[in-house]
Structures are given as structure tokens and as C-alpha cells.
């Protein structure tokens, strides 16, 4: 379980970036965060994995033993330990392109093995076999030896998911994991992420309400640093306009304008 309470972050000039964000995500839930550009979605995720310290608020994460930690308050050593169990999937993959798919997956657990072993990428045969299983889970076991730099975007994103799986996370967060992908690969990736929520809470930021409606169990909308919706993943048109405001109305106006132009 992860619980976020009253996250607040402002700039020195007083501009509120996060304005009292609160929500809870349990194991079994795949929560999609929607919101216009600049709303505070990525900042919220950065607070979730301890990369950004809010001015106020709490982020309580349950570790593998079920113990809750407020990652805004724990010391650096404890934070490092909790973060080793937070799987992160980004839009830009964040893979080491010169290493093979299998090696990239194993990197997911680097923080959990001894310094001496990690210096030499000293993974055991058992760990390598487990990493291969993670690649097989996302249907690219046959690409294990290929340098990730040579893989397609969809394949790279699967390596990133396999890396997160291999990390044995207690929480999975994803920032725009499907934004670089074509519709077919985007669906495949959503289908692969969804079942991971059976063993841990999954929180992802998306720009595709039709995808979150289909694959997420719940949707949270953030606008101007505030949660303005938290509920059913299928959003009404009114709610979509409230979330995306002018942007969406403009798009809709353009769509209406096209047939008129064609007639003329
Ligand atoms: N270090 C910083 N200093 C000043 N402003 C910042 C800083 N980091 C983020 N911001 C601002 O905070 C706001 C929220 O940023 P955030 O990255 O969370 O947006 P987002 O909702 O993820 O948008 P997008 O959908 O475009 O990725 C933005 O207006 C951004 O410019
Ligand atoms: Mg963002």
C-alpha cells in the first residue's frame, strides 16, 4: 500500500506546484494519473519514490515485510533500502544501450547485492536465470543477448518492465510508459503492466484517457497541483473538459471545423 497525504511543494516565488495532493493506492489497484501538461504529475511521482522532498506532507510506503515508512522523513540509508524495492518505468526507457537486454534487467537488482559483487556485475547463475524468466514474462526471452540499443521502442519498454519485475518491487510507478509507442505496442505494454498490480500497487501517469479507461482500475486527475478527480476510470466528457480545459475544447472545435472546410 502507498498513502500520500497532503503533498505540498511551492517555488520560492510562492507559486504552488503541489497543493495538498492526497490519495491511497492498494495492492490490486492499477491507478492512472491524468492531467494537463505542467499539472504536477511527474512531481507527484518524484515524491512517491523519494527523489523530491515535498515542503509538507507524507508518503507512506509499505516495505516487503508490510512495515510502513514515511519516505519524506526516513534517513538516507533507509530511503536507499526502500527505493531498491520501488520499480520505476519511464517514457525514455532509461536503459544502458551498450549492454544486452539481460544485463539491463539484472541492473534492476544492483542496489540489493553487495558492493563488491555489484562492482563486477557479479550476479549468480541463479540470478541470471531469474532475469531471463523476467524477459520471458514480457515475451522477449529470445532477445536476451541483444544490445538494447538495437531494440525497437516497444521492445525496450518491455526490457524496462522486465527490469522492474526482477527488482521484486513492493510498488511500481510509471511516468508516461506508453507515450513513445504506437497504439498496438501501447496496448501490449498496458496489458503487461496491469497484472503486476496483483502483487503490488501500480501508479502510472498517462496522457491517454481512453487507455486508462480500459486498463486502469481507478483514475486520479491532477490539475494545478490539486487532485480534482479520484474514481471510476471511465470519465465523462464534462470531466475530460474540466481536466484538459481549453486544450480539449480547442481540439474539439478543430475537429468540428474540418468537415465544414471540406464542404467548402
Ligand atoms: N525545479 C523546478 N523549478 C521550477 N519549476 C518546476 C521545477 N520542477 C517542476 N517545475 C514546474 O512544476 C510544474 C509541474 O511539473 P510536472 O513535471 O510535474 O508536470 P507534469 O504534470 O508531469 O506535465 P507533463 O504532462 O508535461 O509531463 C511545471 O509547471 C514545471 O515547470
Ligand atoms: Mg510529466
Of 83, 93, 92, the residue nearest 161 (C-alpha): 93
Residue 189 and residue 177 in contact, taking contact as beta carbons nearer than 8 Å: yes
Residue 164 and residue 202 in contact, taking contact as beta carbons nearer than 8 Å: no
List the shell of residues around ion ligand 2, using CB closer than 5 Å.
Answer: 42
State which residues form the domain around 93: 2-263
Does the beta carbon of 57 sit less than 6 angstroms from any atom of ligand 1?
A: no
Q: What is the dihedral of CA 5, 178, 92, 38, to 10 degrees?
A: -50
pTM of the full structure: 0.89
Pocket test for ligand 1, best of 11, 14, 42 (most atoms within 8 A of CB): 42
Cell of 154: 516497444
Per-residue pLDDT of the chain (264 residues; tens, 9 = 90+): 999 999 999 999 999 999 999 999 999 999 999 999 999 999 999 999 999 999 999 999 998 888 999 999 999 999 999 999 999 998 776 899 999 999 999 988 877 766 655 655 667 888 889 999 999 999 999 999 999 999 999 999 999 999 999 999 999 999 999 998 899 999 999 999 999 999 999 999 999 999 999 999 999 999 999 999 999 999 999 999 999 986 665 555 555 544 434 433
- Count how many domains the chain has: 1
Q: What is the dihedral of CA 35, 237, 28, 186, to 10 degrees?
A: -70
Measure Cα distances from 200 to 106, 165, 172 in Å. Answer: 20, 11, 7
Q: What are phi and psi of 191, to 5 degrees?
A: -65, -30
Nearest residue (CA) to ligand 1, atom 28:
38
The domain spanning residue 159 has which CATH number?
3.40.50.300
Amino acid at each position: 500500500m502507498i498513502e500520500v497525504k497532503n503533498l505540498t511543494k511551492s517555488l520560492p516565488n510562492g507559486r504552488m506546484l503541489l497543493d495538498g495532493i492526497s490519495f491511497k493506492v492498494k495492492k490490486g489497484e492499477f491507478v492512472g494519473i491524468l492531467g494537463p501538461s505542467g499539472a504536477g504529475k511527474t512531481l507527484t511521482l518524484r515524491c512517491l519514490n523519494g527523489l523530491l522532498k515535498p515542503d509538507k506532507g507524507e508518503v507512506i510506503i509499505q516495505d516487503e515485510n508490510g512495515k510502513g515508512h514515511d519516505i519524506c522523513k526516513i534517513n538516507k540509508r533507509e530511503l536507499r533500502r526502500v527505493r531498491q524495492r520501488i520499480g520505476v518505468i519511464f517514457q525514455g526507457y532509461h536503459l544502458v544501450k551498450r549492454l544486452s537486454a539481460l544485463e539491463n534487467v539484472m541492473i534492476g537488482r544492483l542496489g540489493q547485492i553487495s558492493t563488491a559483487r555489484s562492482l563486477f556485475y557479479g550476479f549468480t547463475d541463479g540470478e541470471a536465470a531469474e532475469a531471463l524468466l523476467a524477459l520471458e514474462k514480457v515475451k522477449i526471452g529470445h532477445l536476451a543477448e541483444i544490445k538494447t540499443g538495437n531494440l525497437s521502442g516497444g521492445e525496450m519498454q518491455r526490457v524496462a518492465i522486465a527490469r522492474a519485475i526482477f527488482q521484486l518491487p513492493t510498488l511500481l510507478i510509471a511516468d508516461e510508459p506508453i507515450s513513445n509507442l504506437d497504439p498496438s505496442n501501447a496496448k501490449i505494454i498496458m496489458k503487461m503492466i496491469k497484472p503486476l498490480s496483483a502483487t503490488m500497487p501500480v501508479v502510472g501517469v498517462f496522457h491517454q484517457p481512453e487507455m486508462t479507461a480500459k486498463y486502469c482500475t481507478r483514475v486520479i486527475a491532477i490539475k494545478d497541483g490539486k487532485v480534482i478527480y479520484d474514481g471510476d476510470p471511465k470519465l465523462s466528457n464534462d470531466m475530460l473538459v474540466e481536466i484538459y480545459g481549453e486544450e480539449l475544447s480547442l481540439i474539439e472545435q478543430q475537429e468540428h471545423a474540418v468537415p465544414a472546410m471540406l464542404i467548402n
